[in-house]
Structure 1
Amino acid sequence: MILTRRKSFRYIHILEFSVYCHLLRMDSRKKIISSPRASRSRRVLAGKRACPSHSSLNCTRKLFRREISAAGNRSFNCNNAQEKFRHFQLQEEFDTYDPKGNWYLQLNFLKKRSKITEIVAAKDVVFALAQSGVCAAFSRETNKKICCLNINPDEVIRSLFYNKNNESLITVSVYAADDFSTLKCRSTPIQYIRRGQPDAGFSLFGSESLKWPGFVEFDDVNGKVLTYSAQDGIYKVFDLKNYTHLYSISDEHVSEIKISPGIMLLIYERCASHVPLKILSIEDGSVLKDFKHLLHRNKKVDFIEQFNEKLLVKQDNENLQILDVRNSQLTEVSRTEFMTPSAFIFLYENQLFLTFRNRSVVVWNFRGELVTFFEDHLLWHPDCNTNNIYITTDQDLIISYCKSLPRDKDDERVGSINISNILTGKCLAKICETDPDVKISPRRRANSSPIMSTIKEALEDVTALFYDEEKNEIYTGNRYGRVHVWSN
């Protein structure tokens, strides 16, 4: 299983009522599966500009090259990023745990304090989803809790998706009435949530049976929604703008569908020596290419991924294969150099991808060459859940919750928020407890709620992370159900 993210495409595969979701914002694509199993691996995606030619020798072109070259931009962006994240302080604290506010919830575990699993921010509203299934909305204008998004007493929310096409929040929930086995989707305009009216939304895909192992997947980059009804074995594609049904795919031999910008990859049930594949147009479902990829017999497939024209295939204890589907050119990377990662992040514009393995991150290109190591970027969570990793829209920065060197045993549970340059691997900034500049801001608003946590407690066991690029604020959630706002 794999997770992916792109500039406007986020694809996370998580199996416990899981989410295929962006980060690039990472946030552009989410897949939620009605499955009770635990997740094992993930992946992510993003992009870059080509460097101008350096062959010209005349002064005009030298000046022109110096002023607008990609290298100059990278240097400026690097310095700019360091300034943007300098002197970050703890500004606010929100608490999703509200036993009085959640009095109407019938399920006992919804009333208990639990860790934050997902954070989404849009239009000055911060949404925090707890592992218990309670989702709370907070206003950054008033710094107060607006409402709880659970509108039914037995509702457990499993995922959030912000639909920028109509400025609404889509919640994906399960219910105790059917043993939490069927996904139900609801769309609520942000304007109604800001008024404290979470019940003003409307249900989506009511005609679809999304009982396990069915799923729903939101693809922001293509503006599409993919559903799978296990009851009748039919995949359906909807328009994300108005939720109208576009076309259906009915083929019992399809084992998985992967979405890329403009296309879908249909992976069929494996044969002994090959796997049948089809590439379809995402707009109308027409077949663009139908082919077979040869496999080593009796060896399991670790992953098959499609990224633009590149097909990545890895089998157990075999080399990584990178196939250009346009001309069938094949590139192989030694299995000793490229070991199966737990997750990917693909950078489409840069034609690069990040791999995550044993808490480490490295960057590769599609020629199979190792491009970048990251310094001082040892991830805190070994499973590389992208809910605690954020990649900026320009795909030049990665913000992660990382391990920091403990001074004593008491510091072993305290990590740091690291901001690193993806193209150079350099750590540009860090929010850590040992930095004397990192403290509770003395310039907090008079109407702000009190901050109950210390800096050390706020950086302890961070379970979710989100960066609001417009407001230049980082939101982190921890195992106690609290959300902290960091900015300068």
Structure 2
Amino acid sequence: MDGGRRIAVSPRPCSGRRILASKKRGRPDAFVNSVKKLQRREICSKPHRAFSVTDAQERFRNIRLQEEYDTNDPKGHCSMVLPFLRKRSKIIEIVAAQDIVFALAQSGVCAAFSRETNRRICFLNVTADEVIRSLFYNKNNDSLITVSVYASDNFSSLKCRSTRIEYIRRGQPDAGFALFESESLKWPGFVEFDDVNGKVLTYSAQDSPGIMLLIFTKVGGHVPLKILSIEDGTVLKSFSHLLHRNKKVDFIEQFNEKLLVKQENENLQILDVRNSELTEVSKNEFMTPSAFIFLYENQLFLTFRNRTVAVWNFRGELVTSFEDHLLWHPDCNTNNIYITSDQDLIISYCKADSDDPLSEGNDNDITCEVLYRVPGMAGSINISNILTGKCLAKIRASNGFPVEKQCSCCDVECGCRSKVQSSSSRIRSTVAEALEDITALFYDEERNEIYTGNRYGLVHVWSN
């Protein structure tokens, strides 16, 4: 399903956009695994918000570390909380809505922070045994949808809840209401949020699915496929696609009328399902990516492989390669990547320049009493133009120092050291530390702020 965000049931969250119910025993067919292993994020666009290269460079000029939030509470978000919810864990997802930043930790704890007060408002976990798996901001009614599993039913089924942002702002996360209560969201059920069409798809284990592309078990040298209407589930087309019998399927994906099929050590096939026109891209030019992102407005797609990003069109042509955008993680995690709504900019956590003197870690004191840091390498946050591949701006350890505030004596030209000492009092991390081990990234286009989370459960705000 194009634009999907599917979520699976498990005590520990994953970073995928589609949320699946977990299977307790046995394993799904290996073919299905190979098809589903690619992580997708489809992006829709908004008109009249494009920026020129100059505008983008100006927008990201002088971005600095401004605030630091901590998602961890050793006492837990409520009494009798599950032990693993008290543990500090990495941030896996960040969502911003108006003046609130939501940070989801791998443990399943989700915290809400106010950008107005820079304080934690509340935890979104309503009960002691709730493990939140993923977040979705519904702009249509200004609410946050949380997808959770619970210890009370052995983490076996998905539960969705919608909470108005105004209630969360008041510190009332329990004022929300349950969604899809009639659905049996156990294995192989799932919930999928369709960003593009503004719809939510649920697959109940007791009902028939209604996704756009159905991929059936491989039969001999072909795989049966069906394309369904996203509106009512009507079968629009049934067909089979020929495969090499003894070759593993790397992925099968659909983007509008285009079907992308890739088998191990074989050419990429791009099939137009309307007229059966087939385009092949040499396996030497297009190698299997670890993930890709569809760009709806531009009719392009991004591929991620071995830390590199490339842009392709559906004629099988390479459109863009990036000059300075070497991703930090070898296996792409799309939670560390943000595409602007106009699909003109990509913001990613990248490897820092080798000549940056602060990119090699440091021996500073531990920044928080409960953190026992091992000095590491600081990366950089790179902002690049998708169509040209040019790097427009970069936040790195040598240029992201916190903005200094006025000293207490109010004399602008006094040179008083208190000016530096009083700045960013809530920030315990150095800039280099804030750029280490980033595990989630989000760009708030309205506020022009970048939010990053790291493996220590800390959230950092970057703004100018």
TM-score, scaled relative to structure 2: 0.84
Q: In structure 1, what is the Cα distance between the partners aligned to 2:230 and 2:44?
A: 21
In the other structure, the counterpart of 2:163 is: 188
Mapped pair 1:396 → 2:344 = yes
Q: 1:297 aligns with which of 235, 242, 245?
A: 245
1:277 is paired with a residue whose SS is strand
Of 119, 130, 151, which aligns to 2:105? 130
- Counterpart of 1:203 in 2: which secondary structure? strand
- Asked whether the 8 Å contact 2:44–2:296 carries over to 1, the reply is yes
**Residue of structure 2 equivalent to 1:115:** 90
Which residue number corresponds to residue 440 of structure 1? Answer: 402
Residues 398-417 of structure 1: CA deviation (Å, up to 9, x unaligned): 00001113457536521000
Report if aligned partners of 1:185, 1:204 keep a CA contact under 8 Å in 2: yes
2:39 alignment partner in structure 1: 42
Rounded to whole Å, the distance in 2 between the matches of 1:396 and 1:272 is 43
Query: Equivalents in 2 of 1:313, 1:306: separation in Å?
Result: 9
Q: Which amino acid aligns with 1:458?
A: A
Report the Cα distance in structure 2 between the residues aligned to 1:410 and 1:151, rounded to whole angstroms: 39
Give the alignment partner of residue 387 of structure 2, picking from 406, 423, 430. Answer: 423
Where do 1:357-368 residues align within 5 Å?
357-368=305-316
- 2:311 pairs with 1:324: no
Q: Deviations over 1:1-45 (max 9, x none)?
A: xxx9x8xx4647788666686xxxxxxxx4211337999542344
- For the 8 Å contact 2:337–2:347, the answer to whether it is kept is yes
Following superposition, the deviation at residue 290 of structure 1 comes to 1.9
- Name the amino acid aligned to 1:382: P
Deviation per residue, 1:338-380 (Å, 9 max, x gap): 1111001111222211110111111111111111111121111
Relative distance call for 1:32 and 1:391 in structure 2 (3 A) is same
Aligned pairs for 1:235-254 (under 5 A) are 235=209, 249=210
- The residue identity in structure 2 corresponding to 1:43 is R
Of 268, 280, 284 in structure 1, the residue corresponding to residue 228 of structure 2 is 280
Superposed displacement of residue 443, structure 1: 3.9
- Counterpart of 2:427? 451
CA 20–107 in structure 1, closer or farther in 2 if over 3 Å, else same: closer
Aligned residues of 2:75 and 2:86 also touching (Cα < 8 A): no
Which residue of structure 2 aligns with residue 150 of structure 1? 125
The answer to whether structure 1 residue 98 and structure 2 residue 73 are counterparts is: yes
Counterparts of residues 70-109 of structure 1 (less than 5 Å): 77-100=52-75, 102-109=77-84
Tell me by how many angstroms 1:154 deviates. Answer: 0.9
Q: Distance in 2 between matches of 1:315 and 1:171?
A: 36
Deviation at 1:213, TM superposition (A): 3.1
Residue 336 (structure 1) aligned to one of 284, 287, 290: 284
1:380 aligns with 2:355: no
Task: Quote the residue 1:307 is aligned against.
Answer: 255
Asked if 1:266 corresponds to 2:223, the answer is no
Which one of the candidate residues 341, 361, 364 is aligned to 1:410?
361
Q: For residue 145 of structure 2, what is the aligned residue in structure 1?
A: 170
Equivalent residue number for residue 211 of structure 1: 186
What secondary structure sits across from 1:355 in the alignment? strand
Question: What is residue 365 of structure 2 aligned with on the other side?
Answer: none
Secondary structure (helix, strand or coil) at the match of 2:377 reads coil
- How many residue pairs align between the two structures? 422
C-alpha offsets along residues 134-190 of structure 1, whole Å, 9 cap, x if unaligned? 100011111111001111011111111111111111111111122222211111111
| Stretches of structure 1 lacking an aligned partner (at least 5 in a row) | 22-29, 50-67, 236-248, 250-256, 258-263
Aligned counterpart, 1:472: 448
The SS at the match of 2:55 is helix
Q: Letter of the aligned partner of 1:187 in structure 2?
A: S
Q: Deviations over 1:432-476 (max 9, x none)?
A: 0022xx211224999986111111111111111000000000000
8 Å CA contact 1:105–1:111 kept in 2: the answer is no
TM-score by length of 1: 0.80
Contact 2:15 2:92 in 1 (8 A): no
Unaligned residue ranges in structure 2 (runs of 5+): 28-32, 363-375, 408-421
Q: Distance in 2 between matches of 1:409 and 1:397?
A: 28
CA RMSD of aligned residues (A): 2.8
> 2:8, 2:190 within 8 Å by CA — same for their partners in 1?
no
User: Hey, what's the Cα distance between the residues in 1 that align with 2:6 and 2:334?
Assistant: 7
Q: Which amino acid aligns with 2:258?
A: K
